[in-house]
């Protein structure tokens, strides 16, 4: 997400801050121990999963050869931007951000590598197209959120449970849409991709908050891989809007095949859950090539990532 702001339409409702505030653990395990624990946990879960019947799960189509495109190399990371997905990538080192009392929990992270990609098919979005490569052991040592979510991702990969994998570094918002879930492998690791949307309040699902998310980890447990890309579909309204009937801002016309956001009777109106479920089902039924960019191009980008 564009980290300098979280612009949400709250429809005259009170913003609910997430309950999962982060604090520094009372005791900090040794960096080497944590990296060993991550790798050992992944190995143990994989061995356990091999001893039980494997359920049928969706996997991204594997590409037999590397995609045509733009090769990118920076420090220990290499990948190929598939043709038509982006015109290039800017690399940067994100400085270490220690926890300080009063700081937001989502800002805590070790020094890590970020790539910002320039998307070919540009459209309004509240998110950057980014690839983040984060030292997993150090991240878990610093952040309670990472210490919870990284082992959970490993467990989900071992169990072939592909749902509700939330983004790291975390957003200050809750997951409301989780669809098009699939396992995607890269040369030295694995992860789970999904099309998702996060919000702080019951609001319409729109393209400017829709993302392709990939959350993965290298086989040795050393690096966490987080990819976020803006994505859109034809049946969603492009820009966020205030659905309150008393709003002076005109309500946009819902595109053909879209769903109208209900008129709410309160903050916890059950119509919101029904609306989100209907949107989730429609996104799940949408062919991958009708997303922009196509999900297959984003999967191909993931499959090319090599961390040495």
Written as tens digits, the pLDDT of the chain (308 aa) is: 665 444 344 433 333 333 333 333 333 444 444 444 444 443 433 343 333 333 334 566 655 456 799 999 999 999 999 999 999 999 999 999 998 888 888 889 999 999 999 998 889 999 999 999 999 999 999 999 999 999 999 999 999 999 999 999 999 999 999 999 999 999 999 999 999 999 999 999 999 999 999 999 999 999 999 999 999 999 999 999 988 888 888 889 999 999 999 998 887 899 999 999 999 999 999 999 999 999 999 999 999 999 99
What is the residue whose two structure tokens read 């982060």? 22
In the chain, what is the straight-line distance between the N-terminal and C-terminal CA atoms, in Å? Answer: 27
* pLDDT for 245: 80
Helix or strand (DSSP H, E) at 160: none
* pLDDT for 180: 99
* pLDDT for 273: 95
Backbone φ, ψ for residue 105 (5° rounding): -65, -30
Distances (CA, A) of 101 to 18, 98, 105, 242, 300: 17, 10, 9, 34, 41
* pLDDT for 62: 57
What does the block give as tokens for 161?
């449970």
DSSP of 1-59, one letter per residue? --TT------TTPPP---S------SS---HHHHHHHHHHHHHHHHHHHHTSPPPP--B
Question: CA 254 to CA 257: how far, in whole Å?
Answer: 8
* pLDDT for 229: 98
* pLDDT for 56: 38
Q: pTM score, two decimals?
A: 0.80
* pLDDT for 265: 84
């Amino acid at each position: 997400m564009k980290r300098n702001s979280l612009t949400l339409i709250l429809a005259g409702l009170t913003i609910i801050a997430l309950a999962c505030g982060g604090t520094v653990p009372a005791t900090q395990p040794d960096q080497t121990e944590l990296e060993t624990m991550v790798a050992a946990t992944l190995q143990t879960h994989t061995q356990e999963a091999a001893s039980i019947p494997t359920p049928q799960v969706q996997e991204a189509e594997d590409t037999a050869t590397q995609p045509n495109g733009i090769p990118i190399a920076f420090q220990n990371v290499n990948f190929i931007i598939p043709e038509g997905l982006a015109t290039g990538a800017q690399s940067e080192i994100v400085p270490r951000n220690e926890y300080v009392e009063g700081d937001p929990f989502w800002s805590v992270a070790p020094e890590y590598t970020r790539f910002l990609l320039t998307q070919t098919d540009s459209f309004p979005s509240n998110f950057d197209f980014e690839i983040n490569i984060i030292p997993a052991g150090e991240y878990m040592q610093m952040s309670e959120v990472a210490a919870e979510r990284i082992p959970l991702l490993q467990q989900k990969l071992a169990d072939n449970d592909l749902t509700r994998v939330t983004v790291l570094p975390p957003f200050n918002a809750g997951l409301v849409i989780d669809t098009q879930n699939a396992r995607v492998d890269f040369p030295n690791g694995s992860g789970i991709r999904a099309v998702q949307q996060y919000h702080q309040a019951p609001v319409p699902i729109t393209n400017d908050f829709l993302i392709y998310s990939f959350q993965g980890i290298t086989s040795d447990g050393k690096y966490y891989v987080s990819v976020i890309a803006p994505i859109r579909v034809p049946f969603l309204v492009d820009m966020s809007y205030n659905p309150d009937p008393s709003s002076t801002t005109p309500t946009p016309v819902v595109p053909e095949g879209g769903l109208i956001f209900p008129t709410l009777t309160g903050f916890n109106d059950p119509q919101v859950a029904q609306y989100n479920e209907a949107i989730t089902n429609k996104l799940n039924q949408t062919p991958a090539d009708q997303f922009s960019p196509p999900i297959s191009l984003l999967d191909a980008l993931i499959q090319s990532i090599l961390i040495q």
